Amino acid sequence: ETGVTQSPTHLIKTRGQQVTLRCSSQSGHNTVSWYQQALGQGPQFIFQYYREEENGRGNFPPRFSGLQFPNYSSELNVNALELDDSALYLCASSLPETSTEAFFGQGTRLTVV
Amino acid sequence: QQQVKQSPQSLIVQKGGISIINCAYENTAFDYFPWYQQFPGKGPALLIAIRPDVSEKKEGRFTISFNKSAKQFSLHIMDSQPGDSATYFCAARPRGSTLGRLYFGRGTQLTVWP
């Protein structure tokens, strides 16, 4: 186990709704990255938070937004859900000052119907 | 635009055989190349990683070969075992980027027959 926990594990939403996914980073890790993994594809970088500030963003529209809290846990919010948003959402935590490794959680499986 | 191209998409190997997965990249500004292993229902887990100033790195049965001039790198799994059956992803990180920002290949589903 990596110590990175995500909730919920599965979620079904209707098109047009909003969703919030949560990630609890490994103890002491100050950096959280979010990825979207469509079925049969590799993870795609959404954005990253470092010490509560967004620190890099991939090619995702503004309806994908996030937060990082003082305890370094993080949320991913997606507004106006579309069918193509159905995917496994992964978060990864890291402590860049001391390690080269990013640790992934088990993911949240989001289905949009 | 796929920054990292991975092949094959699927691979079937007999127990004890060698599994080889290849990746290629175009952006010469990548400076860190990890391989991840993912089991169904789990997140990716780091398997082994290499930096471009090294041509080969070995950890147990897993070896990365890196060809900087060809912009290619590959994962070799020696003495493949049924427990190695999983999806493998190569990835690359842009130089100067923070740790968590990785470009992943599309993945290779490896099946090792007993």
Better-predicted residue by pLDDT, A26 or A66: A66
Q: What pLDDT score was predicted for residue B1? A: 62
Note the pLDDT tens digit of each residue in A56-76.
899 999 999 999 999 999 999
In this structure, of A98-112, B12-26, B67-81, B86-100, the range with the lowest mean pLDDT score is: B86-100
Report yes or no: B12 at the A interface, CB cutoff 8 Å: no
The reply to whether residue A31 touches residue B104, judged by beta carbons under 8 angstroms, is no
The residues facing B18 across adjacent strands are: none
- The number of angstroms, rounded, from the C-alpha of B30 to the middle of its chain's C-alpha atoms is 15
Q: What pLDDT score was predicted for residue B18? A: 98
State the count of interchain CB pairs (< 8 A) between A and B.
72
Q: What pLDDT score was predicted for residue A32? A: 93
The reply to whether residue A96 touches residue B99, judged by beta carbons under 8 angstroms, is yes
Tokens of B66: 């890196």
Report yes or no: A70 at the B interface, CB cutoff 8 Å: no
The reply to whether residue B98 touches residue A31, judged by beta carbons under 8 angstroms, is yes
In this structure, of A5-14, B43-52, B104-113, the range with the lowest mean pLDDT score is: B43-52
**Closest chain A residue by Cα to residue B48:** A101
Average pLDDT over residues B56-66: 96
Report yes or no: B72 at the A interface, CB cutoff 8 Å: no
Q: What pLDDT score was predicted for residue B98? A: 61
Residue A3 has pLDDT above 90, yes or no: no
Q: What pLDDT score was predicted for residue B28? A: 75
List of chain B residues whose C-beta atoms are within 8 Å of the C-beta of residue A48? 98, 100-101
3-state secondary structure chain B: CCCEEEECCEEEEECCCCEEEEEEECCCCEEEEEEEEECCCCCCEEEEEECCCCCEEEECCEEEEEECCCCEEEEEECCCCHHHCEEEEEEEEECCCCCCCCEECCCEEEEEEC
How close A89 gets to chain B, by Cα (Å)? 9
Residue A100 has pLDDT above 70, yes or no: no
Better-predicted residue by pLDDT, A87 or B114: A87
Q: What pLDDT score was predicted for residue B2? A: 72
Cβ A25 vs Cβ B100: under 8 Å: no
Note the pLDDT tens digit of each residue in B29-57.
888 899 999 999 889 999 999 998 999 99
The reply to whether residue B43 touches residue A40, judged by beta carbons under 8 angstroms, is no
The reply to whether residue A102 touches residue B104, judged by beta carbons under 8 angstroms, is no
Q: What pLDDT score was predicted for residue A73? A: 94
Rounded percentage of chain B residues whose pLDDT exceeds 70: 96
Residue B63 has pLDDT above 70, yes or no: yes
The residues facing A33 across adjacent strands are: A48, A92
**Mean pLDDT for chain B overall:** 92
Q: Which of residues 14-43 of B touch A (CB under 8 A)?
A: 32, 36, 41-43
Residue among B41, B46, B97 minimizing CB distance to A101: B46
Q: What pLDDT score was predicted for residue B99? A: 58
**Mean pLDDT for chain A overall:** 93
